Amino acid sequence: MTNNFARTWRLLLLNLRKDWLKLTLWLVMLLGLFAYTGPYMNTLYGTKAELTSMAETLNTPSMVALLGKMPHVQTLTTAMVFAAEMNLFMSIIAAIMSVLIVVKNTRGAEEDGVVELLRSRPVGRGSVNLAAIGELVLLNGVYALGIGLLVGNSGIYGGSLKGAFLLGLVQGAVGLLFGLLAIFLAQIFENTRTVSAASFGAIGVFYVLTMMNNVSDLGLDWLSPFSWLGQTQPYIYDDYFPLVYFLTASFLLGCAIFLVSRNRDVGVGLLAQRPGNSRAGSALRGLYSLRVRLERAGLLWWSVAALVFGATYGSIFGSFDDLVKNNKTLAQLIGANQQNALSQKVALQFVALLAVVFAVMAVIFGSNIIHKLQTEQTKGMLELLESKAVSRVKFVTSYLTVSLLGAAIVFFAGVLGLYFAGNSVLEKPIEFSQYWEMYLAYLPAIGIFIGLALVFTVYLPKLYMLNWLYLVFGFGSIYFGGLLKLDGNIQKLTPFGWLQDIPVKSLDLAAITTLCVIAFSLIFVSIIGYRRKDLV
């Protein structure tokens, strides 16, 4: 075919028609958050004293690690605080959104046989990728424009249209860049699972690099896209030049996508999968062992990622000691012993916040396994197993058991990395029993989210995205709860809201028991529903 991009426009329209609900939900959720948070900031930080207090909070090591550096300026405005709180976190969400959309329409479409069917018609060799890129550009373009218009007209103190549109363009640029990276990885690897893992792994690696550079000033600003967005400084300097970095990297990735795609066949990646054994081992004789075998690589990588995140966060605990010791007035008032106790308390408060991060990682891993029960069944991958004399209960519990155990392992890896790295730099280490108490307390909450994922998979598979939205709400309400001064009752609409003070405070056995009952109820109802479900 002489035209490598024939029928691209029709494929783009097809993608938009197929994904319109997902795209709408993503945009409404993210733009709604920007539209709500901007004016709300005026009520939180409308006075000079409130802004000064917030700036001091944002400049603590824990907040610098989580959200990035807060520049030192003579006149601080509400808009500056708003940008400092939202920029990095929301860019990560934009990157995740883009990856989820494009992986489904590229490597996912090849796995489903859709691309092969399209290529049998007069469709160009590069049309599928170009249509995915077009959808990605439209999605992030609307997102960027929406942020500029909504925030620019929100009336936030110290705001301007120039700063608002810069904030929007940066968010869109991050989403575009990581979406293109995911499409490129879809040309390299030949299954959706590996492409998604590599894409999210890249987001995690770049975030860790940014976090380490923010805390320790390693001079690696040029290496991570998340550091590039910090250089724009919306509402302070309004520097548009870092957008050139994003555009250059995006252009190079776009060229690489089409160069690589020319050298591979449909359904395979540039890197061939390693051939398996000619004979199945004894570990593959049961449903449970089979599921463990299929998920072992993902479990390993998620556990390593959680361990590295924990160790990286824990390595900044020493800065809490420095922060307390450098306050000479405080040292004279409370003495050295009390200083160590105070720095330990500050570290514990940071641990309580980080627990939600590791819990979300565990929920994502576990929920992905549950969702495979639906996707693998839809693709006909389970027909051979379902034709055997295997009970429905055993079949669904094989997914559920590996999901729960895997999530518990991922969460434990994050806690373990935090424990060892944090205690290695604290003068007064935190006892492992406090970490263990926190670990046990969060397991029922993780079980609720996985149980909810199973409910959607069994009863409402087409609305499964609502499960992710609920997880994002749960994470955001705790992560930003203190900064936005959210009401505790709003935070308690999610399981995390009942646990956010652990290990600073003792366990609430009544709350833990309630969470356990809810988790078991969701799982029980789902298993009953799966027994009666039509598998066709």
For 73-137, the three-class secondary structure string (H helix, E strand, C coil) is CCCCCHHHHHHHHHHHHHHHHHHHHHHHHHHHHCHHHHHCCHHHHHHCCCCCCCHHHHHHHHHHH
Taking the C-alpha atoms of residue 298 and residue 197, their distance in angstroms, rounded to an integer, is 8
Residue 346, token pair as written in the block: 């500050």
One domain for residues 421 and 363: yes
Q: How far apart are CA 134 and CA 186, in angstroms?
A: 16
The residue ranking higher by pLDDT, 387 or 25, is 25
Q: Long-range contacts for 294-301 (Cβ within 8 Å, ≥24 apart)?
A: 295/369, 295/402, 295/406, 298/193, 298/197, 298/365, 298/368, 298/406, 299/365, 299/406, 299/409, 299/410, 301/197, 301/201
Q: Are 85 and 69 in contact (CB under 8 A)?
A: no
Number of domains in the chain: 2
pLDDT of residue 335 exceeding 80: no
Are 93 and 101 within 8 A, CB to CB?
A: no
Q: Given a cut of 80, is residue 28 above it in pLDDT?
A: yes
Q: Cα separation of 287 and 266, whole Å? A: 31
- Confidence at 331, pLDDT banded by 50, 70, 90: very low
Q: Is residue 341 part of a domain?
A: no
Structural domain for 362, as ranges: 285-315+353-532
> What would the mean pLDDT of 161-168 be, rounded to a whole number?
93
205 and 290 assigned to the same domain: no
452 and 400 assigned to the same domain: yes
**pLDDT category of residue 13 using cuts at 50, 70 and 90:** very high
Q: Are residues 35 and 181 in the same domain?
A: yes
Q: At residue 502, does pLDDT exceed 90? A: no
Q: Is residue 235 part of a domain?
A: yes
Same domain, 176 and 301: no
Cis peptide before 275 (omega within 30 of 0): no
Residues 114-152 have pLDDT tens digits of 888 888 788 888 889 999 999 999 999 999 999 999 999
Angle 287-314/328-378 helices, nearest 10 degrees? 160
CA 520 from chain centre, in angstroms, equals 26
Structure tokens at 77: 């405005």
Q: Is there a single domain that holds both residue 297 and residue 191? A: no
Q: Mean pLDDT across the chain, nearest whole number?
A: 84
Q: In the block, which residue shows the tokens 């004016």?
A: 39
Q: Please count the other Cβ atoms lying within 10 Å of the Cβ belonging to residue 346.
A: 19
Pick the closest to residue 473 from 461, 486, 460 (CA basis).
Answer: 486
Co-location of 524 and 436 in the same domain? yes
Pair (455, 524) in one structural domain: yes
Tokens 């936005």, residue located: 484
* Domain contains 269: no
CA 221, 356, 69: angle at the middle one, nearest 5?
25
The pLDDT confidence band at residue 334, using thresholds 50, 70 and 90, is: very low
Answer whether residue 167 is part of any domain.
Answer: yes
CA dihedral 81→83→89→93, nearest 10 degrees, is: 150
Q: Are residues 130 and 216 in the same domain?
A: yes
Residue 347, domain member (yes or no): no
Instruction: Provide the 10 A C-beta neighbour count for residue 390.
Output: 13
Residue 348 belongs to some domain of the structure: no
Under 8 Å between Cβ of 140 and 179 = yes
The pLDDT, as a whole number, for residue 506 is 78
Is residue 296 domain-shared with residue 251, that is, in the same domain? no
CA distance 164 to 239: 12
In a domain, 87, yes or no: yes
Q: What mean pLDDT do residues 337-346 have?
A: 61
Q: Do residues 307 and 236 both lie within one domain?
A: no
**Residue 46 predicted with pLDDT over 90:** no
Largest CA distance in the chain: 80
Average pLDDT over residues 401-406: 95
Q: Quick check: is 338 in a domain? A: no
Digit-coded pLDDT (tens) for 51-77: 777 777 777 666 777 777 776 777 788
Give residue 535's pLDDT band: very low, low, confident or very high (50, 70, 90): low
- Work out the percent of the chain whose per-residue pLDDT is above 70: 90
Please write the tens of the pLDDT for every residue from 213-262: 877 766 777 788 998 988 888 888 888 999 999 999 999 999 999 998 88
Measured over the CA atoms of residue 416, residue 418, residue 423 and residue 425, the dihedral's sign is positive
Torsions phi, psi for 184 (to 5 deg): -65, -45
* pLDDT at residue 67, rounded to an integer: 73
Provide the pLDDT confidence category of residue 328 given band limits of 50, 70 and 90.
Answer: very low
User: 3-state DSSP call for residue 241?
Assistant: coil
Mean pLDDT for the stretch of residues 181-195: 90
CB atoms within 10 A of CB 41: 25
Mean pLDDT confidence for 73-85: 83
Task: State the pLDDT at residue 1.
Answer: 45
509 sits in which H/E element: helix 509-532
Q: Is there a single domain that holds both residue 187 and residue 304?
A: no
